[in-house]
Amino acid sequence: MAETTGISWADQTWSPWTGCAKVSPACDGCYAAHLMGTRMGRVEWGEPGVGEGTRSLMSDSYWRQPLSWDRAAAKAGTRPFVFPSLCDPFDTAVPAPWRWRFVELMEATPHLVWLLLTKRLGNVSKLTDPARGERPLPENVAFGGTFCNQAEWDRDGSKLRDLAERFHPLFTFGSFEPLLGSIDFRGGWCPDWIVVGGESDQGAHKARPMHHVWVHSLHDQAVSRRAIFHLKQWGEWRHAPDRAHFKEAIREPWRRVESGMAGIRPAFMVKEGRRHTGRLLDGKLFDGRPEVRHA
């Protein structure tokens, strides 16, 4: 909600409204829901068995922020990436006029790249269809989907591919965060940009470990398909590379994690916290982003 963000794959975070409903295992440790429950308290988060929750539109002064970012980007010749982090842009529980206003703002900020990440890829076409009275999306958007395991990729990966073919966004991206299992693209299509991340503790919800082999597999698949790979964080847990390291760390919480992949042994994971686990894969920083020409 500020002019800068600690999210490594975006330049700014900005949300037209806040509020959502949990629809995936990836939502279990939602930082936005935790933020609302502990600090902001603007909305009630929805989830199965509870209901849709509530939504809250941001203030008019807040809505003017992207306009100033766009002017600065035009002057500097840059294309900042802006991520709506406290909502889902394709949430059907949101009043239509709010969504239309958001589309108009994106149209008015052509120098910004809007990262439209959703867990509701099936809603995109109908919520942008002029025949239904909706507003079509402008050209300065990128489509992204969240995929935390193989089942989600198998169900929704083709939806993201179909959206790319129909709408021709600037690029597609997959948020594989939290990565809760191995994902195989099965020799087929994959997003232009693959963003991987482990989970963080969020109040009562404690982070689940991310097996290092899952990350290596996505990296290798990205390289073979000439996709861009970005490792955001390992999360709270780190792989204990050898028995000696594991013995030294045994006083810390630890867990045996099955890979779910044929021929791959389980990993022993030690909970050390995000500040210690870092962002490196095999000693390298994978910080790639798609290149977007100036508008």
Q: Which domains does the chain have, with CATH numbers?
A: 12-285 (3.80.30)
Closest CA relative to residue 90, chosen from 41, 35, 146, 49 = 146
State mean pLDDT over 277-292.
96
> Rounded distance, CA 16 to CA 84, Å?
7
**Residue 245: pLDDT above 90?**
no
Q: Using one digit for the tens of pLDDT, what is the confidence trace for 180-234?
A: 999 999 989 999 999 999 999 999 999 999 999 999 999 999 999 999 999 999 9
Burial 200-217 (b: 16+ CB within 10 A, else e): bbbeeeebbbbbbbbbeb
pLDDT at 119: 97
State mean pLDDT over 136-155.
98
Are 37 and 22 in contact by the 8 Å Cβ rule? The answer is no
Closest CA relative to residue 184, chosen from 194, 171, 197 = 194
Are 186 and 222 in contact by the 8 Å Cβ rule? The answer is no
pLDDT at 221: 98
* Dihedral angle over CA of 221, 232, 172, 209, nearest 10: 60
Higher pLDDT, 19 or 4: 19
Q: What are 113's two structure tokens? A: 């790249």
Higher pLDDT, 251 or 94: 94
Q: Average the pLDDT over each of 147-156, 193-202, 207-216, 257-266 and give the range with the smallest value.
A: 257-266
In DSSP terms, 280 is beta-bridged to 285
Q: What are 227's two structure tokens? A: 């996709």
Phi, psi of 155 (to 5 degrees): -80, -40
H or E segment and range at residue 32:
helix 31-35
**Residue 39: pLDDT above 90?**
no
State mean pLDDT over 93-108.
98
State mean pLDDT over 52-72.
98
Are 194 and 291 in contact by the 8 Å Cβ rule? The answer is no
Q: Using one digit for the tens of pLDDT, what is the confidence trace for 232-243?
A: 999 999 988 765
Confidence of residue 22 (pLDDT cuts 50, 70, 90): very high
Interstrand relation of 267-271 and 237-239 (parallel, antiparallel or unpaired): antiparallel
User: In the predicted model, what is the mean pLDDT of the chain?
Assistant: 93
Confidence of residue 244 (pLDDT cuts 50, 70, 90): low
Confidence of residue 246 (pLDDT cuts 50, 70, 90): low
Please give the C-alpha separations between residue 250 and each of 135, 144, 256, 267, 271, in angstroms, as whole numbers: 56, 39, 12, 14, 10
pLDDT at 97: 98
Q: Is 247 exposed, middle or buried (0-12, 13-18, 19+ CB in 10 A)?
A: exposed
pLDDT at 2: 46
**Residue 32: pLDDT above 80?**
yes
* DSSP structure string for 70-120: HHHHHHHT---EEE-TTS-TT-TTS-HHHHHHHHHHHHH-TTSEEEEEES-
In DSSP terms, 115 is beta-bridged to 142
